[in-house]
Every structure is written in structure tokens, then in C-alpha cells.
Amino acid sequence: MMRDEMWEEAARVVRGDVRSLLSVRADLERRWSEPHRGYHDLRHLDEVVVALVELRGSTLDTDAEWAGVVFAAWFHDAVYDVAEPGENEGRSSELARNALSESGIRDDVVRLTCALVEASATHHVAESRGPQAAFHDADLWILGAPPERFDDYCADVRREYAAVPDDAYAEGRGAILRPFLARESIYRSEHARHHWEPAARENLHRELARLTR
């Protein structure tokens, strides 16, 4: 699978402890396969990795940046608790810091990975190139997905929060999605703005209309 290939490439770039990194990857795959996950599962991880590959040539400059965004893809939703969603990014970052450091990954790549994971809490990124832009856009690729996939994503997120009453869910979900439409651009990189932005705006308008019915 591409996610495994990209993990292995990132591991080669940073020359970490191969055996330790295999154990880390196995733990992450277990986490991404937890039964309470609707959207934040291995399919989402795969889509983020594919999007990063698409963005790599136009957005990233170094192999170290590439390693950081790949590791961030694997770690960014590694901790996913719907009961305490505000804690997920911090806990995932802590997991990344400990696991990568113990696997011999050099400090600059560990710091970059953790910064990317933490930034996914707000998706406020100023750069239009570099790892922050690439990871921001790849994580939000789903907003510009084909309509059928986007609609599946919306249903999957709702399933994760099935315990939340419809009115409360609609209000909370709308508060998360609406600000993206208020931005001058949802995406940061030129590639994503050109190729994904129009569909993302159409998809968001459609979902917000559903939520307000």
C-alpha cells in the first residue's frame, strides 16, 4: 500500500531504527483501525498520503520536509477520542514525539512532525509553500473530493458523533465548516487552490444546506 511505501521512504530518509519504526507503524495501524472511528480511519490516512504525493513536487523542497509530512499524516489522528476532541491533536503530538524520538529520528524532523500535528487543530496556516501548506491541504483534501466521496465523509463523521442529538450536531458541525467558506481560500498551495478549491466550496455549501434543514 502507498501509505506503507511512504512510511518506509520517510524512515530511510531520516535513518531511524528500522525495527523500532516497524513497531511504531504497527501500533499506528491498530489505532487507525479502532472500531469507534467512522471517518478518521485508514481510508482517511490513505487519502492524506495520496494527496501529499500529489502536492510534493510543487510544495516541498527537501527530503526532511517530506519525512515530516509523512510522519505527520500517520500521527495526526492517531489519538482520536470523540468524547474529548479538543485533546486529540495534543495527545497525538505527544505520541509522535515519544515514538519518533525513541526510534532515533533526528530532532528537526520530530519537531516538524509535532508542529504539523498540532496545527491540524485549527488549520490556520499562512504559508503557501512548505510542509505546513502541504499538510494543511492534504488533510483537507476531502473537502474537495468528488461529491459521492464527500457525502460519504459527512455521513461517516456523523456516525462518529451518533450520540450527539441532531440539533446540537448541526450547530457544532456548521460552526466547524462555515469558517472555511469565509476564507479567501480554503487551501494554501497553488496546486490545491487550482485543482481542489472549486469542488470544496460546492461540497461545503451542500453540506451546510443539509445541516440547516
- Model-level pTM greater than 0.85? yes
Quote the pLDDT of residue 19: 87
- Provide, rounded to the nearest whole percent, the portion of the chain with pLDDT above 70: 100
pLDDT, position 1 = 73
CB 137 within 8 A of CB 153: no
pLDDT at 208: 98
* pLDDT tens track for 92-144: 999 999 999 999 999 999 999 999 999 999 999 999 999 999 999 999 999 99
Q: What pLDDT does 79 receive?
A: 97
Report all structural domains of the chain as residue ranges with CATH numbers, in order of start.
2-211 (1.10.1300.10)
Amino acid at 63: D
In this prediction, residue 24 carries a pLDDT of 96
What is the structure's pLDDT at 84? 86
Q: How far is CA 8 from the centre of its chain?
A: 19
Element (H, E) at 123: none
Residue with cell 498540532: 118
Residue numbers in the chain where pLDDT is lower than 50? none
Which residue, chain included where needed, has cell 487552490? Answer: 193
Q: How far apart are CA 21 and CA 102, in angstroms?
A: 9
- Containing 13, the helix (H) or strand (E) segment is helix 2-14
Shortest CA distance to 112 belongs to which of 158, 67, 58, 145? 67
